[in-house]
Amino acid sequence: MWPSSGSAPPPGPRSRGGTLEHRQLVGGETLGFGPQAWPSYFDLNWPQEVQETIQIPNNGSAPLLVDVRVFVSNVFNVDILRYTVSSMLLLRLSWLDTRLAWNASVRPRRAITLPWDSLWTPGLTIQEALWVDWQDQSPRARVDPDGHVDLYLTLTTETNCDFELLHFPRDQSDCNLSFYALGNTALELEFRAHAVNEIVSVKREYVVRDLKTQVPPQQLVPCFQVTLRLQNTALKAIIALLVPGEALLLADMCGGLLPLQATERIAYKVTLLLGYLVFHSSLVQALPSSSSCNPLLIYYFTVLLLLLFASTMETVLLAALLARGDLRAKSGPSPTPRAEQHGHGDSEPNPEGGVKGSRRSQAEAADHVFFLVYVVGVVCSQFFFIGLWMWATCKSDPAPGKAVPHGGQPRL
C-alpha cells in the first residue's frame, strides 16, 4: 500500500525486476521512442535519453498541460461529529510526451503500456486527506504512437470537510479535495480538470447534489480542486430529535390542565422534566459543535428545557403556597364551641375560612394566568424559531491558515 500522506507513490529506485518487466513489455523488439531506441535494461548505466523520460516533458515556454478527469463513484461515511467524509475516486490523467512517440508506419502498434515508474507522472497530494488508499499499487500508463499518455489512478480517501451545520438537519455543505503536484512548479505544470458524477446509490443520509472542479489561480505549485456539495436528507434527525422534543412540550402543556391541588400534577411535571433532561444530555452528544455557527437546534432544545423548567417551578411554587396555607389553617386556634357560638349568635363570620378560600382562589387564578401566558409563549417561540430557521445566516470564521495578517497561503 502506498504512503497514507495523501500522495501518489514517488518513483522509487529502479530494480532489475522492473527492467525485466520493460523488456517483456516490448517483447524483445526495439521500439524507437523519439530519436533513440530503448536500450538494454540489464545495463545499470542507463543512457541519458532514458533518464530524461522520468523528467517532466519540456513544453517550451508554456507549462505542460495535464488534462484530469475525476470520476466520483461513491461518497460514504459522512461524519459530522468528526468533520470527515470518505469518497472513492477514479482519476484519468492525460498529457503529451513527445519523447515517447514512435513511427507508427515502422512499428505498427496502436498503443503500449508502461509501468508508472518508467516515465514521468505527476505526483499528487490531497491537502485535506487524513489517509489515502491507492487501489492499484502498480498502475500502468497507456502510450499512443504520437506520445499521448493516459494514466488511471483509483483511490479511496477520508478527508476533512468544514460542514455548515447552522441549519442542521437540513444542512448543505461544500467539501473540497485539493490535489497538489508538489514536485513541480506552476511554471512547469498546469492542470485542466473536469468532474464526472458516477454515483449510482442514493441510500445515504447525505447525498451529492452537485460536483464541480476548479483550478485556483496564482498558486506556487500546480493544483486543482474538486468540490462535492452534500445535502442532508434530514429524515433520521427529524424522527429522532424534533418529534420527541415537540411531544414532550405538548405533554407539558396538557399537564397544565390538571387541577393545582392534585398531587399527581407535581409528579407528572417532575417526571417530564427528568425525562427531558435525559433526552437533552443524549442530544448534546449527538449534535455537532463548532467554534462558530453552531446548529440552531442546540439553542432550540435549550429553550425547550428552560420552558419545561419554568412550568415545573410554577407548579411546585403554587402547590407549596397552597400547602403552606392549609398547614396554617390547621395549626391556628381551635374554633369556638357550638353552644358558645350559638349563645353569641351567628352574626360573626369565620375569618380563617375566608382567608383559606381567598388564598386558594388567588393561587388558582395565578395558575390560570401562567398557563395562558405559557401557551402563548410556546406558540410564539415555535413561530420565531421557524422564521429564524428560514432566514438566519451565519458566516464562519476564516481558517487560521487564511486569516490575515498572520496567515494566508503563499501566492505568486
Identify the burial level of 404 via C-beta atoms within 10 angstroms of its C-beta, where 0-12 means exposed, 13-18 middle and 19 or more buried. exposed
Calpha distance 250→240 (Å, rounded)? 16
Strands (E), 32-83: 32-33, 36-37, 64-79
pLDDT of residue 411: 54
Q: What is the mean pLDDT of each run of 10 residues along the chain (412 residues)?
A: 45 36 32 36 43 80 95 93 95 95 86 91 94 92 95 96 90 95 93 93 84 91 96 82 88 90 89 91 81 87 93 91 75 54 50 61 89 94 92 81 55 50
Helix count (H) and strand count (E) of the chain? 8, 13
Alpha helices for 12-111 (secondary structure H): 16-26, 48-52
3 state SS of 172 = strand
Give 148's strand partners.
96
pLDDT of residue 51: 56
* Beta pairing class for 148-160 and 129-134: antiparallel
Three-state SS for 254-313 is HHCCCCCCCHHHHHHHHHHHHHHHHHHHHHHHHCCCCCCCCCHHHHHHHHHHHHHHHHHH
pLDDT of residue 408: 53
pLDDT of residue 405: 52
348-394 pLDDT, tens digit each: 555 555 555 676 788 889 999 999 999 999 999 999 999 998 998 88
Please report, as a single letter, which amino acid is at residue 257: L
Calpha distance 300→284 (Å, rounded)? 12
Calpha distance 379→395 (Å, rounded)? 29
3 state SS of 115 = strand
In angstroms, the first-to-last Cα distance of the chain is 35
pLDDT of residue 188: 93
Which residues fall within 8 angstroms of residue 388, CB to CB, at 6 or more apart?
296
Calpha distance 23→104 (Å, rounded)? 20
Which residues fall within 8 angstroms of residue 1, CB to CB, at 6 or more apart?
133, 134, 137
Calpha distance 102→370 (Å, rounded)? 91
Calpha distance 20→4 (Å, rounded)? 29
pLDDT of residue 204: 81
pLDDT of residue 132: 96
